[in-house]
Structure 1
Amino acid sequence: MAVGDQNDVYRRLRGYLPRWFPDENQSPVITGLLQGLAYTGAFIYSLLSYARLQTRIKSATDGWLDMIAADFFGSALMRAANQSDDSFRARILINLFRERATRAGLIRVLQDLTGRTPVVIEPTRPVDTGVYGGPLIGYGVAGAYGSMLMPFQAFVTAYRPVGTGIPLVAGYGISTGGYGQPSRASYAALSMIQGGVTDADIYAAIDSIKPVATIVWTRIAQN
């Protein structure tokens, strides 16, 4: 017997009856009436408990999490295919308190999204470009050209996440068979890969972090 279930509510109602009522085994009519009231009360209790969970992000479930994400982020943060409530909740909380409008925030959002660290170069930042007479410039040292004519701009090289492919399906002419394991031939399609990060997701992530009135020139690379 759990708090709020039908048996619990029935015992509570039974406890309010005066002592002159007969035992429950000897009063089937009263017992049936109380069981009916207990069924309704248990349903209402479960409904209230469920509604209370949906009032907080850390306890919300089902479609209520999707509504919370839509309230805060619109269409910028959607539940991935087959994504669990706990996983989606973590994404909502991360994005809700994410550092924005900073270089560190830009790097972090791409790391969280793709699992890979991007290359960020700001033309007006000497640490990125080096300076004459400085420690980050010299013959044979790789770097980038800086320019004071490009304020509030940055160049970002973002990397696509490393994919895992489609299980049991290899490239054309390559067998996936082995001892006790037959080879599987199949045509592959992008629809067979669910939850993948697209280039549009990367662009959207950068746009959600960058400061207003800035330009982030973005290149997306595989390696």
Structure 2
Amino acid sequence: MATGDQTDIFGRIKALIPRWFSDSTPVLDALLRGFAYAKSFVYGLIVYAALQTRIKTATDGWLDMIAADFFGSSLLRKSGQSDASFRNRIIINLFRERATRNGLVKVLTDLTGRAPAVFEPQRPLDTGSYGGPLIGYGMAGGYGSMLLPFQAFVTAFRPSSTGIPNVAGYGVSTGGYGQASQAELASMNMIQGSVADVDIYAAIDSVKPAGTTVWTRISN
């Protein structure tokens, strides 16, 4: 017996019944169990509703509503993603570091699994300096400029793990006719783990400081 189930509520109701009934009351018990069933259903709804009031306990479509409230369409549940995994993404993005170089690197790394290359033309650690250890023609450093304030150049990388499981690529021998393999006409919505370029741009825009320009190049 658990708190709020039919048996629990039946016992609570019967404990309040006047004592003039005999010990064996099958008709009365049947009536009370009907009431208890309805009350246990209501109790279950109350418990479920209480869970949805906190991100750490919310479930099902309520998590999707929470994500929409905070992030609009920029943070959607992935196909087949569990509540626990989606909840973790929501919490991470709620408390994500923003308006910093490290925040930009981290959001792209979390999104694509690959760290971006970031170059700030007014940052000596990026450009190097004459006589310093961080510069070498074709090896390290880069051309800095005081004419590019509040700007950065970012090379973001697409994920390397996207694809369609168990389906051979065009021209791959494992998809040969009459061979023990699988090949089929595919569409973009069959790709698993895909991150579109627009997702990368949106991620950068969500963490970059206001009033700055981040020139972005996306590469494989």
- TM-score, length-scaled by structure 2: 0.93
Write the deviation string for residues 137-172 of structure 1: whole angstroms up to 9, x where unpaired: 245533211001000000000000112422222123
**Matched residue SS, 1:216:** strand
Q: How does 1:1-223 map to 2 (within 5 A)?
A: 1-23=1-23, 26-139=24-137, 141-176=139-174, 182-222=180-220
In structure 2, give the amino acid aligned to 1:176. T
Partners of 1:43 and 1:99 lie apart in 2 by 43
Moved more, 47-56 or 183-192: 183-192
Could you say if the C-alpha distance between residues 15 and 44 of structure 1 is closer, same or farther in structure 2, counting changes exceeding 3 Å? same
**Matched residue SS, 2:11:** helix
2:52·2:59 contact (CA, 8 Å) conserved in 1? yes
Partners of 2:193 and 2:126 lie apart in 1 by 34
Partners of 2:164 and 2:75 lie apart in 1 by 25
User: Pairwise CA RMSD of aligned residues?
Assistant: 1.6
Alignment length, in residue pairs?
217
Partners of 1:31 and 1:40 lie apart in 2 by 14
1:175·1:184 contact (CA, 8 Å) conserved in 2? no
Write the deviation string for residues 51-71 of structure 1: whole angstroms up to 9, x where unpaired: 100010000011111111111
**Matched residue SS, 1:220:** strand
In structure 1, give the amino acid aligned to 2:150. F
**Matched residue SS, 2:153:** strand
The runs of 5 or more residues in structure 1 that have no matched partner are none
**Distance apart, 1:27 and its partner CA:** 2.0
**Matched residue SS, 1:95:** helix
Moved more, 36-45 or 150-159: 36-45
Could you say if the C-alpha distance between residues 28 and 88 of structure 1 is closer, same or farther in structure 2, counting changes exceeding 3 Å? same
1:4·1:42 contact (CA, 8 Å) conserved in 2? yes
- TM-score, length-scaled by structure 1: 0.92
Q: Quick one: percent identity of the two aligned structures?
A: 68
In structure 2, give the amino acid aligned to 1:218. T
1:10·1:38 contact (CA, 8 Å) conserved in 2? yes
In structure 1, give the amino acid aligned to 2:161. G
In structure 2, give the amino acid aligned to 1:156. V
1:168·1:176 contact (CA, 8 Å) conserved in 2? no
